Amino acid sequence: MLKSVVVVGGGTSGWMTASYLTAAFGDRIKVTLVESARVGAIGVGEATFSTVRHFFEYLGLEEKDWMPKCNATYKLAIRFENWREEGHHFYHPFERQRVVDGFTLPDWWLRNPSSDRFDRDCFLVGTLCDSLKSPRHLDGTLFEGGLGERSMYRTTLTEQSTQFPYAYHFDATLVANFLRDYAVARGVRHVLDDVVDVALDDRGWISHVVTKEQGDLTGDLFIDCTGFRSLLLGKALEEPFESYQSSLPNDSAVALRVPLDMERKGLRPCTTATAQEAGWIWTIPLFDRIGTGYVYASEYSTPEQAEKRLREFVGPAAEDLEANHIKMRIGRSRRHWVNNCVAIGLSSGFVEPLESTGIFFIQHAIEQLVKHFPDARWDEGLRDSYNSLVNRCMDGVREFLVLHYYAAKRTDNQYWLDTKKRALPDGLAERLERWQTRLPDGESVYPHYHGFEAYSYVCMLLGLGGIELKPSAALGLLDPSSAQHEFKLVAEQASELERTLPTQYEYFAQFH
């Protein structure tokens, strides 16, 4: 069996990896994490998937253990503003579709829309977001009964059969620090030093990394969590990188941390993605501030123009704040596990922050590494299976994000015109043609696990408005009374929740 793992790089990816490995294997594997005091984390990964709760549960942590310490809040959806036209918004919620007589509620809505808000007519979450509500009552009970129960076993992403109604916003630096303390308390060795070299043996495998102050760090398995620099996989092992930029042109970002009186402003329980002239701006509400940033394509905007636009968007609260400019590497490594090195996080690949997939990719990679963990035989089949799963996951997210731009009705400048002309990933054109006459279902979306289900594709197509969708002809022959009853039920349940749930700020204020 392998005896030691060396994680190179800290931040969210490094400490998520170290803490998860020690939670999984205990003291049967020695874990060392080395990070530089001089290299800061990117720190914009503040929004997540709903499935990230399984990561914290796997570590044996409850929300009260970590959320207040990380200024965390709930995220029930992503709110898309101005993607169709100025002044328009819709939600992509963490909420599966209801089904009536074999057809989803969005199918019935498309046949006979009762308003221009499919997200409020077909789902509960849009109402909760508009009214700034918490998904939990003050006593901690979840608004959807039964879903808040913890499993008696630790679970991972791929076996989930329910859609949990929220994810998290959090301060990524505080989460990394929290997980560092968790991991070190459970035996992870923490080395604060600069890695100055990566040494390879005669086979081309990593034998050790050389640090500036403490010499050589040896191990059996090395995990590359060095971010976009990819010091181990990309530089030392020279693994090729496959760019996604032919279809996803956004390659830059500028970010601000904006302190605000969130009690007065209110905590909207969703991430907001506001379309701009050369990309989009994220707004993430934490308990003590907002995180915001402009993701843009350098082909259409300079860093100075992007920063100016972001500051205008934020307003007076942005004055005197330091801006963090980031150059993003969009795409993935050809392989993520080569020899005895596995890349996790930005060193492995990245699409862009839209849909908050950065931390999801980290969690998925860590879970698959544990499921494929090698022994002294270093079975090639394990590496091949791991690489295939991670590649398919990233390629699937790429396709889903391309849909956002291609299907957006907005065409008011060259950037948005060009999003309709870029190369589509293999298979997407055929799927788009099929979706125009039948809304996406489990059989017609990207076929491999990538975190998104058919209802997510439905929400984007209905909300973005750039692709003409035809209602199902069969619904014209069915009695609509049951569907009408369900629409009424959604409205009644939403109204009751709006009346009885506390605001998100009220819920979290009790912990602070």
Digit-by-digit pLDDT tens for the chain (512 residues) are: 799 999 999 999 999 999 999 999 999 999 999 999 876 655 555 899 898 999 999 999 999 999 999 999 999 999 999 999 999 999 999 999 999 999 999 999 999 998 899 999 999 999 999 999 999 999 999 998 655 555 555 667 666 667 789 999 999 999 999 999 999 999 999 999 999 999 999 999 999 999 999 999 999 999 999 999 999 999 999 999 999 999 999 999 999 999 999 999 999 999 999 999 999 999 999 999 999 999 999 999 999 999 999 999 999 999 999 999 999 999 999 999 999 999 999 999 999 999 999 999 999 999 999 999 999 999 999 999 999 999 999 999 999 999 999 999 999 999 999 999 998 999 999 999 999 999 999 999 999 999 999 999 999 999 999 999 999 999 999 999 999 999 999 999 999 999 999 999 999 999 98
User: pLDDT at position 260, please?
Assistant: 94
Question: What is the value of pTM for the model shown?
Answer: 0.96
Alpha carbon 370 to its chain centroid, in Å, reads 20
Residue whose structure tokens are 């123009």: 305
Q: Torsion over CA of 423, 428, 434 and 438, rounded to 10 degrees? A: -120
Give the full edge-to-edge strand order of the sheet including 331-333.
241-243, 331-333, 349-350
Cβ-contact 251, 328 below 8 angstroms: yes
Strands (E), 63-185: 73-75, 77-81, 89-93, 99-100, 103-104, 167-169
Residues labelled catalytic: 75
Angle at alpha carbon of residue 353, lines to 468 and 82, rounded to 5°: 40
* Rg for the chain, CA atoms, rounded: 23
Task: Give Cα separations from 160 to 48, 147, 456 (angstroms).
Answer: 16, 12, 16
- Helix 380-406 with 358-371: angle, nearest 10 deg: 160
Q: What's 241's DSSP letter? A: E
Give SS3 for 56. helix
Cβ-contact 3, 218 below 8 angstroms: no
Q: What's 290's DSSP letter? A: E
Look up residue 356 and give its two tokens.
């908050």
Q: Among candidates 209, 239, 255, which has minimal Cα distance to 36?
A: 209
Burial of 11 (0-12, 13-18, 19+ CB in 10 A): buried
Look up residue 23 and give its two tokens.
């939670």
Size (the chain), residues:
512
Cβ-contact 465, 406 below 8 angstroms: no
Where do runs of H (alpha helix) occur along 424-478?
A: 428-435, 454-464
How many Å apart are CA 283 and CA 78, to the nearest integer? Answer: 10
Contacts of 487 (CB under 8 A, 6+ apart): 105, 108, 109, 114, 121, 122
Cβ-contact 42, 326 below 8 angstroms: yes
Cβ-contact 233, 15 below 8 angstroms: no
How many Å apart are CA 19 and CA 55, to the nearest integer? Answer: 10
Query: Given its phi and psi angles, is residue 304 left (phi above 0), alpha (psi -120 to 50 degrees) or beta?
Result: alpha
Q: What's 171's DSSP letter? A: -
CB 148: neighbour CB atoms within 10 A? 14
Look at strands 289-296 and 252-259 and give their pairing: antiparallel
User: pLDDT at position 284, please?
Assistant: 97
How many Å apart are CA 415 and CA 221, to the nearest integer? Answer: 44
